Chain A
Amino acid sequence: MSRAYFQPAALEEALRIRRDNGEASLLAGGTDLVVAMRHDRGPAGDVIDLSKILELKGIQEIADSTPVTVNGIHKMTGKIRIGPMTTFTEIMESQLLREAAGILCEAAETVGSPQIRNRGTIGGNLCNASAAADCITPLLCLNAAVELQSLGFDGSKCTRILPLETFLVDSKKTDLRSDEILTGILFQRPAVDMSFAFQKIGRRNALAIARLNGSCAIRLAGNTVTSLAFALGAATSKPERIERAEEYLTGRELTDEDLAAVGKRAAEYVLEQTGVRASSSYKLPVIERFTASLIRAAAERSTTL
């Protein structure tokens, strides 16, 4: 095998190597790629190790001009930017994320084991694009976007910003082009009256790939749902928002009957997408209950209830 191994120290150098080595694999935390390489299942091309590029690490908030007041609380609004080489441990330990988008910290806590969380990155999670990736459904509910950069042959930098749901094409397939690198994950700091929940079902607590995971973002006026984002992972071929569940519940009172009804709609959607599978007799009833429980959990955290 004649792979070349590149370890660029700066993003621009990485983009140049990427441009000139279209078949190269990007190495982030290595928790998927190194296993694949070891079992000769990995891609055969060159490897570009992104782990030394400081520009791809870190979490920051780019504040907007004016704070807003909601329910008497002054809040800064801003865009949060997560570097793709930020590890799950760094996400869990980020005070900024804990306060602004705690759902992402909760999801990161459920990934693998401490050793995996110390190496695995959020960018790797998105680009590997497993249907069971734990950090994707929270980002879908946060309406996150991805920033993708490439370098032209004339040296000009090209940036594309795509909604995360467009970036995710199918299981293990993204819209990342062979000359592009994911350079940022962006979302607006959620309004203070939104409440969130993340849940996951796995065979055991540690080192479990999700059999089902999901996220919910809800806003209530009294007991009436005024806005709902709801996404499931490991249910269909990619993590996705379940629009018919969102549409059904928006504008309704949050009752046990309607929660059961919304669970049925989520399960129906999954059945339409996947057809009947060996796992259906387990998964479909679980999706019904899981959906209701997840939306209930998000609602229970609402300050307006």
Chain B
Amino acid sequence: MKKTKIQFVLNGKSVSMDVDPETTLLSLLREELFLTGTKEGCGSGECGACTVLMDGLAVNSCLVLAPQINGTEILTIEALETDGKLDRLQQSFIDHHAVQCGFCTPGMLMSAKALLLKNPRPTQEEIRIALSGNLCRCTGYQNIIAAVEGAVD
């Protein structure tokens, strides 16, 4: 397929590149931009491991075609840490033992980040809804919920 030129903002930096329109945002991030923090789980929008923020909203990057990010702002897990300092959410995940195998963690963090950007003081119910598109096979979720609650002011 003929390549398409796209421009977008990735983790605060402007990017301009030619992409194969059938490439997903997930493949673009991992295989062309070497941002491998975003994980591929099911590849069909059911597990949330590949969650990134697109214009501030959590999306499954496996369901977004690369040209669709044209003109948007993408935030990946790599952007949570700033100047060597962990985001409050990341520190809270560590403090609450919310990470076991860690495969779901980047997606969980990005879903939680999207929630806190929109709603800085969520209730536990709102946290549960915000994380409902992210599967975890290790933790049983309780520590993840507690970690997000712990990152709220």
Cα distance, A4 to B3, chains bound together (Å): 9
Across the interface, B64 reaches (CB within 8 A) one of A7, A112, A119, namely: A119
Contact assessment for A34 and B70 in the assembled complex, using a CB-CB cutoff below 8 Å: no
Cα distance, A113 to B63, chains bound together (Å): 13
A254, CB-defined interface residue at 8 Å:
no
- In the complex, per-residue mask of B50-82: 1 if CB is within 8 Å of any chain A CB, else 0: 010010011110111101101100000000000
Across the interface, B111 reaches (CB within 8 A) one of A3, A34, A115, namely: A115
A206, CB-defined interface residue at 8 Å:
yes
Interface residues of A in 25-48 (CB under 8 A from B): 27, 29-31, 34-35, 37-39, 47
A304, CB-defined interface residue at 8 Å:
no
Give chain A residues whose Cβ lies under 8 Å from the Cβ of B130.
Answer: 114
Contact assessment for A5 and B67 in the assembled complex, using a CB-CB cutoff below 8 Å: yes
Contact assessment for A114 and B111 in the assembled complex, using a CB-CB cutoff below 8 Å: yes
Contact assessment for A115 and B51 in the assembled complex, using a CB-CB cutoff below 8 Å: yes
Cα distance, A38 to B44, chains bound together (Å): 9
Given A5-B1, A30-B63, A115-B58, decide whether A205 and B68 contact each other with a Cβ distance below 8 A.
Answer: no
Contact assessment for B64 and A38 in the assembled complex, using a CB-CB cutoff below 8 Å: no
B45, CB-defined interface residue at 8 Å:
yes
Give chain A residues whose Cβ lies under 8 Å from the Cβ of B63.
Answer: 29-31, 34-35, 115-116, 119
A178, CB-defined interface residue at 8 Å:
no
- In the complex, per-residue mask of B1-26: 1 if CB is within 8 Å of any chain A CB, else 0: 11010000000000000000110100
Cα distance, A114 to B63, chains bound together (Å): 13
Contact assessment for A206 and B133 in the assembled complex, using a CB-CB cutoff below 8 Å: yes
Given A1-B1, A31-B45, A114-B111, decide whether A89 and B57 contact each other with a Cβ distance below 8 A.
Answer: yes
Cα distance, A38 to B134, chains bound together (Å): 21
Contact assessment for B65 and A4 in the assembled complex, using a CB-CB cutoff below 8 Å: no
Contact assessment for A114 and B58 in the assembled complex, using a CB-CB cutoff below 8 Å: yes
Cα distance, A89 to B24, chains bound together (Å): 22
A51, CB-defined interface residue at 8 Å:
yes
Most buried by A among B2, B67, B114: B67
Give chain B residues whose Cβ lies under 8 Å from the Cβ of A38.
Answer: 24, 43-44, 62
Distance in angstroms from A95 CB to nearest chain B CB is 16
Give chain B residues whose Cβ lies under 8 Å from the Cβ of A115.
Answer: 45, 48, 51, 58-60, 63, 111, 133
Interface size counted on chain B using CB atoms at 8 A: 32
Give chain A residues whose Cβ lies under 8 Å from the Cβ of B123.
Answer: none
Contact assessment for B68 and A112 in the assembled complex, using a CB-CB cutoff below 8 Å: no
- In the complex, per-residue mask of B113-137: 1 if CB is within 8 Å of any chain A CB, else 0: 0100000000000000110111000
Distance in angstroms from A43 CB to nearest chain B CB is 13
Contact assessment for B1 and A30 in the assembled complex, using a CB-CB cutoff below 8 Å: no
B46, CB-defined interface residue at 8 Å:
yes
Contact assessment for B24 and A207 in the assembled complex, using a CB-CB cutoff below 8 Å: no
Interface residues of A in 106-123 (CB under 8 A from B): 112-116, 118-119
Give chain B residues whose Cβ lies under 8 Å from the Cβ of A116.
Answer: 45, 60, 63, 133
Contact assessment for A113 and B24 in the assembled complex, using a CB-CB cutoff below 8 Å: no
Distance in angstroms from A265 CB to nearest chain B CB is 36
Give chain B residues whose Cβ lies under 8 Å from the Cβ of A34.
Answer: 24, 62-65
Contact assessment for A114 and B129 in the assembled complex, using a CB-CB cutoff below 8 Å: yes
Given A5-B4, A119-B60, decide whether A114 and B65 contact each other with a Cβ distance below 8 A.
Answer: no
Interchain Cβ contacts under 8 Å between A and B, 29 examples:
A3-B22, A5-B2, A5-B67, A7-B70, A27-B65, A27-B68, A29-B63, A30-B64, A30-B65, A34-B62, A34-B63, A34-B64, A35-B45, A38-B24, A38-B43, A49-B65, A49-B68, A51-B68, A89-B57, A112-B45, A113-B132, A115-B45, A115-B60, A115-B133, A116-B45, A116-B63, A119-B59, A119-B63, A119-B64
A1-B1, A3-B1 provided; 11 other pairs, C-beta below 8 A? A2-B1, A4-B2, A30-B63, A34-B63, A38-B62, A49-B67, A114-B111, A114-B133, A116-B63, A118-B58, A206-B133
**What is B's interface to A at a CB cutoff of 8 Å?**
1-2, 4, 21-22, 24, 43-46, 48, 51, 54, 57-60, 62-65, 67-68, 70-71, 111, 114, 129-130, 132-134
6 tightest Cβ-Cβ pairs between the two chains A and B:
A113-B133, A5-B21, A206-B132, A118-B57, A115-B133, A115-B60
